[in-house]
Amino acid sequence: MKILIAEDDFASRLLLQKLLAPYGEVHAAVNGKQAVQAFHDAELHGAPYGLVCLAVMMPEMDGRQVLEEIRRSEGARGVPPGKGAKIIMTTALKDGTAELAALRDRCDAYLVKPIEQKKLREQMASFGMAA
């Protein structure tokens, strides 16, 4: 499985890369625009990402804007809702309003930083991506 991490914080990006490496090929973007470009490039080459981890707050485009673009792109390709990439939003803010908004925008999960290995593994298992 191909995994995309979009995270501007170096330490958070490295942690996610380490935690997700056992699940597949991990790529990283340091801002929202890079994430969108990587997602489109993968689609264009017929090898879309199965999992995308998006930081809520990033430069260039924030995580919600990236989420909207990914879901728009999937819709344009005819991917039905729920059948595209699994998207986990990550944030340092414990904000229920932001979480509800992200879920409404069709993210699949919302994790608060620092990301705990157990919670990430449980989330991956709920997606059928891990045992």
The 10s digit of each residue's pLDDT in 11-51 is 999 999 999 999 999 999 999 999 999 999 999 999 999 99
Q: If 0-12 CB within 10 Å is exposed, 13-18 middle and 19+ buried, where does residue 105 land?
A: middle
In the chain, the domains with their CATH numbers are 2-124 (3.40.50.2300)
- Which residue is listed with tokens 């489109």? 40
The 10s digit of each residue's pLDDT in 88-120 is 999 887 766 665 566 666 889 988 888 999 999
- State the Cα–Cα distance between residues 52 and 125, nearest whole angstrom: 15
